[in-house]
Amino acid sequence: MYSAGWNKQELAIKPRGYAMHGFGNPKHRAYGVRNPLQVRTFYIAAADGAPLIYACLDLGYVTQAMRAGVVAALQAQWGTAWNEEQLVLTCTHTHSGPGGCTQDGLYNLVTPGYQPSHVRAIVEATVASILAAQEAAAPTDIYFSSQPIAGAVEVAWNRSLAAYNRNPDVAQCNEHDTHLALDRVMHVLEFRRANKVQALLSLFGVHATCLGPALQQHDGDNKGYAALFAEQALAAQGVSNPVAIFAQGTCGDVSPHFQGPGALRRRRQLAGEGEYAYAEENGRKQSDHALSMVGSAAALVVQGPLDGVLTYVDMGQQKAAPEFAQGRNDAYTSRPCHGVAFFRGTPVDGPGMPSFLGLGATVLARAVKHKRLRSKNPDERAYYTKLYASQGPKDVLMEDERKRVLGYPLASIPLPGIVDPLVAEIKRQARAGALHRSNMVPSVLPLQMVRLGNLWLTCAPGEFTTVAGRRLLNTVAAQLPQGAEQRHVITTYCNDYMGYVTTYEEYQEQAYEGGHTVYGQWTLAAFQTCYQALAQTFALPPAQRCYDTHTRPPAAPTHELRLRTQQAPW
């Protein structure tokens, strides 16, 4: 038995006309609140040692700025009486939450700019929730179960089927079976007192994009509604202050909207109140399935020590082990680059640039590549030979490290700002010197694993596709204890956000997910290599472990953050 507590706090961010994070659409602005955004927390303690803390926020992303703020506040509160490596911060990935919360440059462009008041509010609510959960801790039994959502339940579909079908380790699906081309298993942790379920945590991968960019209110989307419905159901059973977390599994290629013949027509039929009703319906299906799983006598008893490991690695310069890289000894990641496919978006969930612009960008990207690989400057030619070898078939539109778009410096992109507000904003920031030393996206990323007794969680940053997540989990699980009583699961969007991770095979398709896999075609292989090493040391007694506990992402220059901050465009 553990001592466990739970709590939720509202994220008190007043909508003031800033663009939200997720769709990359500067017109997707927040002027009100529909379903209040929350941070929900579980605090779990054993007889000795540091507690395990799992906090899930109704946001599109968790950023290093958020995590650093929470860690600093808890350090001031608790000193050495806790372990940062056992703190997991994740999110629901709602696209109807505030932007401006990262100190890197790219994902704040639509907001526009960095909004420190948003980060402060998020940190304050998260810390308050953690401390309140600690205060509420009491003897609690924890149980774990897994059960697939029936195929007939319309809750999730694979949105990149051609990429998915490239994987040799999947059953091929056709356009009528996109609902089967994903992991339909939901995992549930239930917290019982006096043999009565008081709270729960669900892991199931599906994008929180029921609500589109035409809406202008903060909202938790399907995951937020799932939590709300589950909490209401528990309260109706007499539970006081119930908390239900509906966090993400592997949802990188998983949509809550139908994918298949007539998908665009079906999506266009949803608008306004219809979208909110659809989000509620999707959330209720997730909630109903989770509630149907709890209270079972067949659930696995979670028991044993608490533990965790956390390390930061530079994913922009990793060598992948041959066993994960098609047997190759020359498989390296590169500094981050975004492809044309990223800017083209996803056809149903979030369309991007028009097709004719995408075609033009593709032609230009290939012309730039051709020119660079034949440069008379040997250093330039060597640099780009290595970069393009890593990026593979990606048509590179933006080089994040060198801050160039189709070969042009950001301040000199040959497209008038009046044509595209994002172009205008990136040129403004570049000319002001706001991006000179700042990263566009992070490269130094947190890799984490935590142990809750006989349950082992792989906590990964960013968005993993279905098969990429499965391969990573299999890699990790092979290094850790196995057996009938051991369980291994993955939870994503943890601790920072950098984009997507596809399999090598999916990457070759260069759908949206591949265009947003910024470190190149060996990204998953590099993650497997790094997580395998971390899992091997995690399997050792704490005193015998040897891994990097000091590296952290470089801080963005303060003066550049100030230059990137803008007031709301009322």
Residue 419 confidence class, pLDDT cut points 50, 70, 90: confident
CA atoms within 13 A on the CB side of 9: 19
> Higher-confidence residue: 296 or 88?
88
DSSP, collapsed to helix, strand or coil, labels residue 455 as strand
Residue 569 confidence class, pLDDT cut points 50, 70, 90: low
Rounded to an integer, the average pLDDT of 61-84 is: 96
CA 515 from centroid of its chain's CA atoms: 16
Q: How far apart are CA 260 and CA 159, in angstroms?
A: 9
Query: If we measure between CA atoms, which residue out of 129, 65, 131, 130 comes closest to residue 98?
Result: 65
Query: If we measure between CA atoms, which residue out of 493, 533, 539, 158 comes closest to residue 324?
Result: 533
**What pLDDT shows up at residue 418?**
76
Q: How far apart are CA 52 and CA 62, in angstroms?
A: 18
Decide if pLDDT at 356 tops 50. yes
**Contact by Cβ (8 Å): 480, 490:** no
**Contact by Cβ (8 Å): 476, 455:** no
Q: How far apart are CA 72 and CA 87, in angstroms?
A: 12
Q: How far apart are CA 491 and CA 23, in angstroms?
A: 22
**What amino acid is encoded at 266 in this protein?**
R
**What amino acid is encoded at 92 in this protein?**
T
Decide if pLDDT at 78 tops 80. yes
Residue 458 corresponds to which tokens in the numbers above? 């792989």
Q: Is 181 exposed, middle or buried (0-12, 13-18, 19+ CB in 10 A)?
A: buried
Q: How far apart are CA 93 and CA 222, in angstroms?
A: 10
**What pLDDT shows up at residue 568?**
55
Decide if pLDDT at 432 tops 50. yes
**What pLDDT shows up at residue 570?**
44
Tens-digit pLDDT profile for residues 192-228: 999 999 999 999 999 999 999 999 999 999 999 999 9
Residue 109 corresponds to which tokens in the numbers above? 């462009």
**What pLDDT shows up at residue 281?**
98
Decide if pLDDT at 434 tops 50. yes
Helix (H) or strand (E) holding 171: none
DSSP, collapsed to helix, strand or coil, labels residue 192 as strand
Tens-digit pLDDT profile for residues 358-416: 999 999 999 999 999 999 999 999 999 999 999 999 999 999 999 999 999 999 998 88
Q: Is 1 exposed, middle or buried (0-12, 13-18, 19+ CB in 10 A)?
A: middle
Q: How far apart are CA 189 and CA 200, in angstroms?
A: 6
Q: How far apart are CA 316 and CA 332, in angstroms?
A: 9
Q: How far apart are CA 123 and CA 61, in angstroms?
A: 13
Could you give the percent of the chain with pLDDT greater than 70?
A: 99
Q: Is pTM, for the whole model, over 0.85? A: yes
Decide if pLDDT at 567 tops 70. no
Q: How far apart are CA 246 and CA 127, in angstroms?
A: 19
Q: What's 317's DSSP letter?
A: G
CA 234 → CA 39, 57, 514, distances in Å?
Answer: 18, 20, 41
To the nearest 10°, report the CA torsion of 493, 282, 204, 145: 140
DSSP, collapsed to helix, strand or coil, labels residue 304 as coil
DSSP letters spanning 38-96: EEEEEEEE-SSSPPEEEEEESSS---HHHHHHHHHHHHHHHTTSS-GGGEEEEE---SS
Helices of type H across 144-220: 161-164
Q: How far apart are CA 470 and CA 490, in angstroms?
A: 8
Domain boundary assignment for the chain: 2-311+443-544
Q: How far apart are CA 64 and CA 496, in angstroms?
A: 5
Handedness of CA 230, 235, 239, 241 (dihedral sign): positive
CB atoms near residue 135 (< 10 Å): 10
Q: How far apart are CA 470 and CA 476, in angstroms?
A: 10
Decide if pLDDT at 80 tops 90. no
* pLDDT, averaged across the chain: 96
Decide if pLDDT at 95 tops 50. yes
